[in-house]
Amino acid sequence: MESRNPCERSAERLPGRHEHEITGLAVRKVFLITPSCLIKKRRDFTGGIRRLAELGFNVINPEFPATPLSPQEKADQIHRAFSDPDIAMILAVRGGYGAMKALPLIDFDLIGDHPKFFAGFSDLSALINPIFERTGMVTLHAPMVKNLGAPSPFTLKSFINAVNGYPERNLFKGAPVTVYQPGTARGVLKGGNLMTLTALIKTDWELDTEQTILFLEDVDEKSHSVDRCLTQWILAGKFRDVRAIILGDFRGIRSSQVYGMIASQMEIKFPVVSCPYIGHGNNKISLPVGALVELNTDRKSLRIQEMSLPGVRS
C-alpha cells in the first residue's frame, strides 16, 4: 500500500538542531516493528535510524530487518515492545501489506496495561485504529522509519510536535486546506488508508465511525477502485454518523474527484475538507488517532480539544 516520492532535500533546509529537540518523553527508547512489508533498500532504513538518533532517540533494535514475519511473529514483536517498561515509542519500519493478519493474535489487554507511543500509517491503519478502539490509547498516524531518512521540514516539525505532546494544537497549521462542504464539527479523530480500512469492514476490527472526524487517504489506486471502496462505505452506513470527513492525498486522483464520488451517492450534511499533507506525499501531518478534535472550515483549522498521550509530561 505504501509508496513514496523522492524527497527533494536540496530545495528545502531541514530545521536546525535547536528546532527539533524532543522534550516531552519520559524515556527515549524506540522499538522498531515490521508488521507489514520489509524495506528493500538498506539506505532507506539506515537513514531513518540516523534521523532518530539526531532527534535524541535510542533505537534498541537497529538491525536491518531482512526476513518477513509470520502473523504470530508480528504479534509477538508487538507484545515484546509493549511489555518493555523502558520503551517510549513503538515505530513501524514501513507499510505495504499484511499488518491486519496479526489482529486476531494481538493481546489488547497487554497493550492497554502498558501504554506507549505507537506510530505508523498506510498499512498500519489496520493497527492504530483498533488499538485505540480496544484500549483507549491514542496512537499516531505518523511517518515511519522509511520516511524519516529524508523528511521535509514540515514532516519533521509535525512529527516533533506529536512526540512532544502536541504543544501546537492546530494540526492543520502550515498545511493547505480546501473546503468542499463548510461547517464546524467536533469528534474523535480516526482514519487512515482507504483500501486497508475497507478490508476491515464487517470484521471484528472494522472502524467505528460514529461521531468521528474521519480522514481517508490512498496512493496510486485507480479511480474505479477508490469509487468502489467509497461505495462500500456508503452502503455499509459508515458515513451515516460521521461528524466530518477529511480527504487526504489520493496520489493520482484529485481530491475533488474523490469528493464527487461521495457527493454523487449521498446527501452530505457534514463538513468536508481536503488536505494533501495527510497520506503518502512528501509533507506529512502526524495525527493523533483517538484525540477529540474540532474542524473549523472558516479558519481551516483542525484543533485538538482533548487528548492524553502516554509518557508525555504535562
- pLDDT tens, position by position, 26-37: 558 999 999 999
- Does an H or E element contain 156, and which? helix 153-163
For the segment 4-19, what is each residue's pLDDT rounded down to a tens digit? 332 333 333 344 443 5
Q: Compute the average pLDDT of residues 249-256.
A: 96
The model's pTM: 0.92
Fold assignment, 178-306 = Glucose Oxidase; domain 1 (3.50.30)
Options 2.60.40.1250, 3.40.50.10740, 3.40.50.10800, 3.30.1240.10; CATH of 9-163:
3.40.50.10740
Name the pairing type of β-strands 212-219 and 184-193. parallel
pLDDT for position 306: 96
Among 20-24, 146-150, 172-176, 185-189, which stretch is predicted with the lowest mean pLDDT? 20-24
The average pLDDT across 97-124 equals 97
Q: Look at residue 149 and tell me whether its pLDDT is greater than 90.
A: yes
User: Which neighbouring-strand residues pair with 301?
Assistant: 296
Same fold, 9-163 and 178-306: no
Do 218 and 188 touch, CB atoms closer than 8 A? no
Residue 203 in grid coordinates: 470484521
Beta strands per DSSP E along the chain: 29-33, 58-59, 87-92, 117-120, 139-141, 178-181, 184-193, 212-219, 244-251, 272-274, 287-289, 292-296, 301-306
How confident is the model over 125-136, as pLDDT tens digits? 999 999 999 999
**CB of 20 closer than 8 Å to CB of 298:** no
Domain extents in the chain: 9-163, 178-306
List pLDDT tens digits, range 36-55: 999 999 999 999 999 999 99
In angstroms, the CA 90 to CA 115 distance is: 10
